[in-house]
Amino acid sequence: MPELPEVEVTRLSFSDRIAGGQIQSVCLGKPLRWPLGVEPDSLCGLRVTDVGRRGKYLLLHLHRDPAEGVPVQSTGGVLLIHLGMSGSLLFASDLPPAGAHDHFSMRTSAGTLRLNDPRRFGAVVYAPDLQQPIVTKLLGRLGVEPLSDDFDAEVFVQQMAKRRSAIKQVLLAGDVVVGVGNIYACEVLFQAGIAPTRRADQVDMVRLRRLHAAIRSTLARAVAQGGSTLRDFSSADGQAGHFQTQAAVYGRERLPCPVCANAIGRIQQGQRSTFFCAVCQQC
């Protein structure tokens, strides 16, 4: 947490507003998971051209007008932002002074972008371009984007059929399809009628196709609902998410299954809680 829908909601909530904004100052708090990789003041003068996303990473593309006399290799770059386990971004024109858990503040001509991260597992990393080793390290092994046209059902079925691990763990690994975190893995496996402990290569093709469809529809619905706010997630304009109120199994241990009324169960898989219905998810 935050998972892909929350990151996409965050992106949508400030990308249009910050686009074109020129960086005026950058202030760092306590160290995050990885260093920024550049002196904060060197980012001043760069302009945010757009905000993209790859998996759970936000990509702020930067540009500087060559007319300012800056060498070609310094005319742009990208900021990779990861929210970690407890991070959230806020973007506004009149933010209060940074607090104890505010570890990155970037003031631009369009407003200030601030990362609040109590557990400090998040990161803000600068790279001159997307071919840099740090970018390859962070993004190079990510699977296909589930909300893109590249997420092909037959390719997904073929790749899952090669995996011998529990299917939920394959989803969480993110190298087949990126961004299906714990909340949404529980939900999509329920929608597809697949037991979370079933080996991926033992799931029949019909259910794998159902799983593919469930991933697309569930993540899209989560984005439309503003993501899931279980503790303190909010978008960059301060809005909480509402998908958690529609969850069929996640966080509903001992409550009745919405399909068969059997009590929802919970097990531990890889130090994560898995919620499921033992009646509806027998395959």
56 labelled catalytic:
yes
- Residue 40 burial (CB < 10 Å; 0-12/13-18/19+)? middle
Give me 262's structure tokens: 């059997």
CA of residue 209 relative to chain centroid, distance: 23
Label the pairing between strands 102-108 and 88-92.
unpaired
Q: Which of 3, 6, 145, 187 is catalytic?
A: 3
Q: Which of 220, 144, 141 is nearest to 177 (CA)?
A: 144
DSSP-based helix, strand, coil % in the chain, nearest 5: 30, 25, 45
Total number of residues shown for the chain: 283
Give me 184's structure tokens: 């949404």
Give me 158's structure tokens: 């073929």
Q: Which of 198, 221, 266, 272 is catalytic?
A: 272
Backbone phi and psi for residue 104, each to the nearest 5 degrees, phi listed first: -155, 120
3 labelled catalytic:
yes
Q: Which of 11, 17, 53, 56 is catalytic?
A: 56
Q: Which of 2, 5, 146, 196 is catalytic?
A: 2
Q: Which of 221, 230, 168 is nearest to 199 (CA)?
A: 168
> Helices (H), strands (E): how many in the chain?
6, 10
272 labelled catalytic:
yes
d(CA 247, CA 67): 53
d(CA 68, CA 97): 31
47 labelled catalytic:
no
Per the CB < 8 A criterion, the answer to whether 18 and 41 are in contact is no
| Residues assigned a catalytic role | 2-3, 56, 272
